[in-house]
């Protein structure tokens, strides 16, 4: 509003006077009553401090108003209900405690206000109308940027609650005594008598956001002091001339169904959040303990001296080498050559062509006509029926007491068979697992599998070898006692991990199954993520079948029951199924800490994040140390040269594998539930091998 002076002769403006300066907003305050005060609490509810405050209020027969952060209230539903049940009022203090002048309007409306309001509605059946902006900025705005959110919030139907009397109990840098806080409140009330611009009847305290021991100590003293000076402690609604029901109206009938749906949604969200936290800490502890235990057992197994049977030196029985094949034209000749180069001479090689659609049968026969003529090599052809049937076809015709099974894509070391067969001098040995390595380290996926074979599969076999209960003799390389296999019914055709099934069969018969780490074999691993998932789906599903099928083996053998079975069920199935939550929890915790530091720096606590980081880093360090131990336990061999560089992939590989194997196990559980059949899923061969493996094959 302005006035102007005009020149009457030429009608020009000669001067102006601003009666009222232009303002975008006008701020009005109400509710001050000289001898009445209302106590309010911000930043709760907190499971430590809020119950103590409620106890004090109840003992002093005082009701207060609690301005709740939605995220905190969602974590403490029962405490929020107690606040209301004891006659106190509540208000909206946003969902995550941001500076509302610095966030987008949509975030303010949908997340900070509506989400908190819907929590109150769903859990309490009311819609509180009080709102207090975090940091006390926007309730007494100085700029348009600060006033705009307040105007927007007011238009949404909220009443913005100020806090003219600030106790500074939140400031942990200056720990005030209860008497000092009470005196500060009285001083501020006294100033109001002479300076109207400071008038107010609302006292600010805090029940969350940090250490509130000062508040707990000061509250009873403050209440007594106020009463002693003639002040009446009322609710905020009393200062407004309204009832409690008017400032916290109950839901209308048509709103109740929406509230029920919201209540379920909040329950699911809370369950998921707490479940993730539980999985993170429990999984972290269990996996770390397992790594340490497996590492200890593997180390003992590697260092212990084995007592060889008296007949071991003269033990050279006839041995068959079985190579089941299906469409292996690219690799079959190389595999046969590596077996024929063995330093164990009393052996016969048997190739079983399981109805291949390529020239596998012809390639095997054409490459070694002299060996076939001499009876050293036999090549069978049969109709396609799967790997188990192909092996059974040969096992039922064996005249040898022992045989070695290898995959058609595998190259074995010259002394591998000798190493394996020597164990059978002990009549208690039913099968021997060899040391399978990835031979085609041609890309990141195959290098990661090479790392996995050393740090997981073979490392576990070392630990299980200590108790002679190796649960899986790999198809890539393993030796078997023929009579034991035949007595167990041969390779099972009703499971898809026939090697694991047959191994557990022998353990159930009472045989020992051991690991020979010097019997090296180099196999072709899947070179793509899709191929790896297909292979591991078959392995995990087949292992699940075998465990269910051979339950008695785990009951009869204590080592299997106490070590092998939990290792399979917990660490190969259950924890990998939910292991992505560990990464999710860490990322969520890190993001939450950054948000707290940004939006609520004075109350952001680093302790929870530090605890999270400590657990996570401890697991990573333990994993790295035990993985390094696994590498150190590997025998020195030219083919192992350069393996140490794989350790630098460990953390990236673990992260990627957790996500991939979780998908595989979800698929496994789904298939187990729906009961659909599963066929032997053979991978396409590439015939690629690393230089070390190629040298062994060509030697």
Catalytic site positions: 42, 206
User: Using CA of residue 507, residue 509, residue 512, residue 518, what is the dihedral sign?
Assistant: negative
Within 10 A of 644 (CB to CB), how many other CB atoms are there? 12
d(CA 166, CA 58): 23
Q: Is 413 helix (H, G, I), strand (E, B) or coil?
A: coil
Cα–Cα distance list, 618 to 284, 451, 584 (Å):
9, 21, 17
**Widest CA span in the chain:** 136
The 3-class SS string of 460-475 reads HHHHHHCCCECCCCCC
Angle between helical axes of 77-85 and 116-124 (0-180°, round to 10): 70
Interior/surface letters 563-573, b for 16+ CB within 10 angstroms, e for the rest: bbbbbbeebbb
Q: What angle do CA 80, 84, 90 make, to 5 degrees?
A: 80
Question: Cα-atom radius of gyration of the chain, to the nearest Å?
Answer: 38
Q: Is 347 helix (H, G, I), strand (E, B) or coil?
A: strand
Cα–Cα distance list, 134 to 138, 164, 586 (Å):
8, 14, 27
Residue 193: Cβ-neighbour burial (10 angstroms; 0-12, 13-18, 19+): exposed
Q: What angle do CA 75, 81, 85 make, to 5 degrees?
A: 160
Assigned token pair, 409: 């894509």
With beta carbons less than 8 A apart as the criterion, state whether 57 and 64 touch. Answer: yes
d(CA 220, CA 212): 14
């Amino acid at each position: 509003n302005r006035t102007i002076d005009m020149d009457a002769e030429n009608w020009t403006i000669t001067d102006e006077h601003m009666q009222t300066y232009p303002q975008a907003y006008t701020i009005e305050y109400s509710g001050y009553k000289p001898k009445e005060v209302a106590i309010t609490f911000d930043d709760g509810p907190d499971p430590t401090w809020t119950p103590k405050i409620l106890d004090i209020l109840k003992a002093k027969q005082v009701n207060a108003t609690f301005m709740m952060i939605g995220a905190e209230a969602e974590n403490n539903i029962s405490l929020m209900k107690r606040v209301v049940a004891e006659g106190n009022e509540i208000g909206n203090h946003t969902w995550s405690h941001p500076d509302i002048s610095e966030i987008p309007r949509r975030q303010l409306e949908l997340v900070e206000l509506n989400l908190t309001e819907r929590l109150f509605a769903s859990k309490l059946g009311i819609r509180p109308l009080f709102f207090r902006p975090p940091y006390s900025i926007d309730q007494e705005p100085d700029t348009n940027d600060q006033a705009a959110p307040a105007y927007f919030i007011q238009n949404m139907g909220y009443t913005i609650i100020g806090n003219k009397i600030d106790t500074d109990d939140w400031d942990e840098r200056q720990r005030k005594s209860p008497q000092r806080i009470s005196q500060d409140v009285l001083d501020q009330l006294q100033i109001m008598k002479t300076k109207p611009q400071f008038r107010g009847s609302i006292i600010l305290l805090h029940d969350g956001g940090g250490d509130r021991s000062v508040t707990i100590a000061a509250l009873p003293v403050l209440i007594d002091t106020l009463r002693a000076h003639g002040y009446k402690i009322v609710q905020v609604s009393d200062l407004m001339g309204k009832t409690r029901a008017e400032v916290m109206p109950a839901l209308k009938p048509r709103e109740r169904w929406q509230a029920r749906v919201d209540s379920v949604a909040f329950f699911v969200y809370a369950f998921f959040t707490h479940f993730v936290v539980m999985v993170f800490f429990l999984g972290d502890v269990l996996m770390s303990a397992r790594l340490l235990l497996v590492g200890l057992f593997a180390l003992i197994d590697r260092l212990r001296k084995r007592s060889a049977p008296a007949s071991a030196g003269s033990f050279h029985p006839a041995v068959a080498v079985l190579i089941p094949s299906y469409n292996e034209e690219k690799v079959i000749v190389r595999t046969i050559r590596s077996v024929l180069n063995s330093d164990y001479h009393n052996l016969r090689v048997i190739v079983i062509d399981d109805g291949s659609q390529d020239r596998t049968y012809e390639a095997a026969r054409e490459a070694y006509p002299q060996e076939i003529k001499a009876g050293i090599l036999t090549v069978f052809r049969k109709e396609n029926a799967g790997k188990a049937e192909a092996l059974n076809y040969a096992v039922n015709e064996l005249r040898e007491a022992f045989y070695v099974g290898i995959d058609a894509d595998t190259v074995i070391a010259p002394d591998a068979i000798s190493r394996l067969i020597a164990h059978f001098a002990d009549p208690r040995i039913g099968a021997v697992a060899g040391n399978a390595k990835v031979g085609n380290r041609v890309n990141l996926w195959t290098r990661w599998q090479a790392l996995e074979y050393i740090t997981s599969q073979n490392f576990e076999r070392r630990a299980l070898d200590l108790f002679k209960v190796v649960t899986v003799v790999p198809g890539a390389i393993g030796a078997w006692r023929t009579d034991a296999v035949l007595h167990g019914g041969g390779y099972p055709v009703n499971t898809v991990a026939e090697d694991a099934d047959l191994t557990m069969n022998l353990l159930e018969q009472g045989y020992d199954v051991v690991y020979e780490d010097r019997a090296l074999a180099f196999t072709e691993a899947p070179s793509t993520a899709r191929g790896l998932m297909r292979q591991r789906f078959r392995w995990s599903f087949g292992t699940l079948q075998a465990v269910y099928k051979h339950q008695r083996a785990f009951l009869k053998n204590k080592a299997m029951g106490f070590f092998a079975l939990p290792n399979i069920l917990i660490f190969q199935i259950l924890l990998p199924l939910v292991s992505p939550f560990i990464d999710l929890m860490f990322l969520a915790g890190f993001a939450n800490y950054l948000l707290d530091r940004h939006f609520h720096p004075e109350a952001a606590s680093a302790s929870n994040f530090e605890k999270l980081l400590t657990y996570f880093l401890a697991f990573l360090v333990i994993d790295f140390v035990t993985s390094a131990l696994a590498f150190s336990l590997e025998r020195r061999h030219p083919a192992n040269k350069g393996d140490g560089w794989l350790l630098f992939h460990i953390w990236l590989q673990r992260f990627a594998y957790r996500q991939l194997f979780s998908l595989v196990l979800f698929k496994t559980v789904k298939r187990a539930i729906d009961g659909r059949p599963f066929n032997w899923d053979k991978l396409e061969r590439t015939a690629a091998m690393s230089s070390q493996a190629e040298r062994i094959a060509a030697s």
